[in-house]
Chains A and B, each alone.
Chain A
Amino acid sequence: MNRLLLFIPLIIFALMGVVFWVGLGIEDKTSLPSPLIGKPFPEFELGVVEDGRTLTTADLKGQPALVNVWATWCPTCKAEHSFLNKLAGQGIRIVGINYKDDVMKARDWLKAYGNPYAYNLSDPEGKLGLELGVYGAPETFLVDSEGIIRAKHIGDLNPKVWDSLKLEFGAMQ
């Protein structure tokens, strides 16, 4: 048997390694294609956490927004909150969906940690969340001024994630 033949497994493995290496680098796997991308934001008519007035899908349009799904029971939401405050400070419009949560708790939370949101839709039953295909908080949607969903991110927003989402958000302006 030729010694060189014994190197074949090693070579195949090296090729596979390259594929994996590139696979890791392609993109953040948490931004999976959502069937909702390119579709209009689902219809809703919900109360606002801060003052109780009712808003509908029409109120979302007019200006691009980050729609952030969060809840007081979610530790990761707490972790991303200070970054949301920073984004709001840069003048980015963030709309909150308070998902399967208690309005009183949500108000306390916003008082304690600051309120980066233009307003928060209260979704105690998770109906809007269901239509958005939310399977855990936090999740963030990029919605353009026509009310069309442009991108979705699962998990917390942080400077690194924002670097990739920023371009898309900038393009919507």
Chain B
Amino acid sequence: MLDTAMLHLPEIGQFALIMAFIMAVLQVIVPLVGVNRGQLWLMGYARPLAVGQSLFLVISLVLLATSFVMDDFSVAYVAANSNSLLPTPYKISAVWGAHEGSLLLWVTMLGLWSVAVALLSRSLPLDMVARVLSIMGMVSVGFILFTLETSNPFARHLPSPPQEGGDLNPLLQDFGLIVHPPTLYMGYVGLSVAFAFALAALMSGRLDAAWARWSRPWTTAAWIFLTVGIALGSWWAYYELGWGGWWFWDPVENASLMPWLVATALLHSLAVTEKRGLFKSWTVLLAIFAFSLSLLGTFLVRSGVLTSVHAFASDPERGVFILALLGICVGGSLLLYAMKAPTVASVGRYEVVSRETALLVNNLLLVVMALAVLTGTLYPLVYDFMGLGKLSVGAAWFNTMFVPLTIALAVLMGFGAMSRWKSDSVSRLASQLWLAGLLAVVFAIVVALVVSEVVSASVVVGLGISFWLVFATFADIWKKARGRVSKIPSLGVSYLGMVIAHLGVAVSIIGVTMVANFSIEKSVRMAPGQVETLGDYQFEFTEAGTIDGPNYTSQATRFNLYKEGKLIEVLTAEKRRYHARGSIMTEAAIDVTLFRDVYLSMGESLEDGSWGMRLQVKPFMRWVWLGAIFMSVGGLMAVLDKRYRRRRKKESLA
């Protein structure tokens, strides 16, 4: 500890952050002045300044991580979120375990996205690059200033530093929490690129197909991170919180879902703007909304305005700063939009039955979904605002809103992907798709009959829309490939990406339907030696004991899991007590296959050595997240499409 104090690493980290701030200010001003005066050499500074800013941010983040690894408890943030007994990987992830560090991570990622734009934008005119990087610099200035002024992670406890740290919140001591926040943040921050492109296009008055083509891969890239981030969060909540739920409609989850929904709408709307030059104003508005919602997600939750289990930092002063930042950022961009968005209707024409209409309805449905989530999340706040007291909107409300909209969206997807630009006809679509629809209904009813004696409407509908999506997608491929499997690869990477992403939606819906309708569970009191049966499975309680971990001691129970008398797995569930904070965490034991999860978690310890145990069998649980993997793979394929790189290649040939 002494030697790190001598090295002044935290001070150097803070200095690097201040340097990054100065670079960001220059990144805002210099390129814009260049654009206004038409001076190329000033615009040319945008790229090096973005690289410089991000370099200092990375230095700052690495030094904070170093303070964690070296147990420098003289740094207040380290003392509050780490402990000398904490395993090293968690010391590093503790960097984003609370407010200050997550903010530093957030601005560092913004810096990295700016560098990516700087390096991968050779096909863009220099004045656009200058505008885009200048706008990203503005966001950066605001949030670096916020970090330095209200949430400095490098502040020290001097002159008497604590000997030992308070430890990382045990909920966060987990692999899922090493990867989930950075991935989600990459998604949130990545939407700033689409935002910057939209504002740059507004400023220059060039809202055209070229602008849409530039924004598309960036938007898709951010969307992939968001998709993976949300899935990781759900997976983490499932195995770590110990009750087997995978989505809680918690404000923090909602905060990540809203930008995802709007970004999904934006992806589709950008497709129309690129291909047909339509919906320009709407697309710009979506880009602004998507980034605004990710700011709302990252910061309003942290400010404590919305109280939830995730909101560790509650500090009204920070809240005021955040609100001011949000006001400037969102208000400013909406003002620019109001003044500069084109009022002349786009020239392209399309008929009622066409791909344009399908994508428009898709957009409306997704935005209504996002609004529903927003309402449900903010309703308690408005309720409080009117002096009616505090309350929470339950999961039931969200499900009532969400399920019908999802069904409508899935039905539309089948038609939309197959429909033609400009004009299509109901009879053509019907002739292509009637078989897919019929098969979907038949299959849904048959499968529902096979899996259970009682056929419930929700199972038939859930499976029906999934099968519809799958069959309609295959019908489309079959048609486009003219019935030849060998032609499928030549349909184009981005088309196949879309297909995979849409199939991912079907996979997730199947998972949700099965888990929601056919999960079985029971809570039982069990003593060692006892056997309990749940569904096809027998749980034999073999022994109870303790396990010593690096910074916790756990009470553990071991079970043999049998299916039809055959031993298939030994499960060890734990209840960990973390030494530093004395908090208790449940570690569920889960046996996983593609078609079902067996989930075992410990409840209360009872007298005579028996335990309250919770046994669950959850069919198709993995499919919920598998669908998200499909969607991100599909997105990745779309990003890698050759047409985004075509121009650069031409240049390098010349």
Chain A residues engaging chain B, CB cutoff 8 angstroms: 1-3, 6-7, 9-10, 13-14, 16-17, 19-26, 28-30, 32-33, 73-76, 78, 99-100, 126, 135-136, 155
Give the chain A neighbours of B76 by CB distance below 8 A: 75
| In the complex, B474 has a CB within 8 A of chain A | no
Cα distance A153–B482 in the bound complex, in angstroms: 69
Q: What is the 8 Å Cβ interface bit string for chain B, positions 427-470, against chain A (1 contact, 0 not)?
A: 00000000000000000000000000000000000000000000
Known A10-B335, A24-B323, A29-B314: A1·B300 in contact at CB below 8 Å: no
Contact B345 A1 (CB under 8 A): yes
Task: Write the chain A residue with the least CB distance to B374.
Answer: A16
Measured CA separation A1–B341 after assembly (Å): 10
Contacts of B330 in A (CB 8 A): 13
Cα(A11)–Cα(B466), bound, Å: 40
Q: Which of A3, A19, A75 has a CB less than 8 Å from the CB of B157? A: A75
Chain B contact residues, majority secondary structure: helix
Is B319 part of the binding interface, using a Cβ–Cβ cutoff of 8 Å? yes
CA distance A152 to B378 in the complex (A): 25
Specify the chain B residue showing the minimal Cβ separation from A78: B162
Measured between alpha carbons, how far is A20 from B341 in the docked complex, in Å? Answer: 27
Q: Which of A7, A23, A26, A32 contacts B338 (CB 8 A)?
A: A7
Q: Is the CB of B344 within 8 A of A1?
A: yes
In the assembled complex, the Cα of A24 lies from the Cα of B334 at a distance in Å of 23
Decide if B316 touches A24 in the complex (CB within 8 Å). Answer: yes
Instruction: State the Cβ distance, A123 to closest chain B Cβ, in Å.
Output: 10
Tally chain B residues at the interface, Cβ within 8 Å.
Answer: 45
Closest to B166 in A: A75
B164 near A73: Cβ-Cβ < 8 Å: yes
Residues of B within 8 A of A2 (CB): 343
- Which of B's residues lie within 8 Å of A, judged by CB? 76, 79-80, 157, 162, 164-166, 281, 285, 288, 292, 300, 303-305, 307, 314, 316, 319-320, 323, 326-327, 330-331, 334-335, 337-339, 341, 343-345, 378, 381-382, 384-385, 390, 580-583
CB distance from B267 to the nearest CB of A (A): 20
Known contacts A6-B337, A29-B304; A74 and B323 CB within 8 A of each other: no
**Contact assessment for B338 and A6 in the assembled complex, using a CB-CB cutoff below 8 Å:** yes
Complex CA gap A73/B341 in Å reads 57
Report 23 cross-chain contacts, Cβ distance below 8 Å, ordered by A residue.
A1-B343, A2-B343, A3-B338, A6-B338, A10-B338, A13-B292, A13-B334, A17-B326, A19-B378, A20-B323, A22-B385, A23-B381, A23-B384, A24-B303, A24-B316, A29-B304, A29-B307, A32-B390, A73-B580, A73-B581, A74-B166, A75-B162, A78-B162
Residues of B within 8 A of A135 (CB): 583
Q: What is the CB-to-nearest-CB distance from B287 to chain A, in angstroms, rounded to a whole number?
A: 12
Separation of A84 and B295 alpha carbons in the complex (Å): 38
A residues in contact with B335, CB < 8 Å: 10
* Chain A residues with CB below 8 A from B390, complex form: 32-33
- Contact call A9/B337, Cβ cutoff below 8 A: yes
Residues in A whose Cβ lies below 8 Å from that of B162: 75, 78
CA distance A147 to B317 in the complex (A): 34
From B79, B320, B331, contact of A24 by CB (8 A): B320
Pick from A23, A24, A78, A136: contact of B581, CB below 8 A.
A136
Given A6-B338, A33-B390, residue A24 in contact with residue B307 (CB < 8 A) = no
> In the complex, which of the residues A14, A20, A22, A99 contacts B300, with contact meaning CB atoms closer than 8 Å?
A20
CB pair B344–A17 under 8 Å, yes or no, is: no
Known A-B contacts A20-B323, A75-B79; the reply to A26 vs B341 at CB < 8 A is no
Instruction: Tell me the complex Cα distance, A3–B343, Å.
Output: 6
Closest partner residue, chain A, to B318 (CB atom)? A24
Within the complex, the shortest CB–CB distance from A138 to chain B, in Å, comes to 12
CB distance B323 to A28 under 8 Å? no
B331 in contact with A10 (CB, 8 Å): yes
Known: A24-B303, A75-B80. 6 other contacts (CB 8 A): A9-B288, A13-B331, A17-B323, A20-B381, A22-B385, A78-B162
Instruction: Give chain B nearest CB distance to A67 CB in angstroms.
Output: 18
Across-interface contacts of B344 in A (CB, < 8 A)? 1
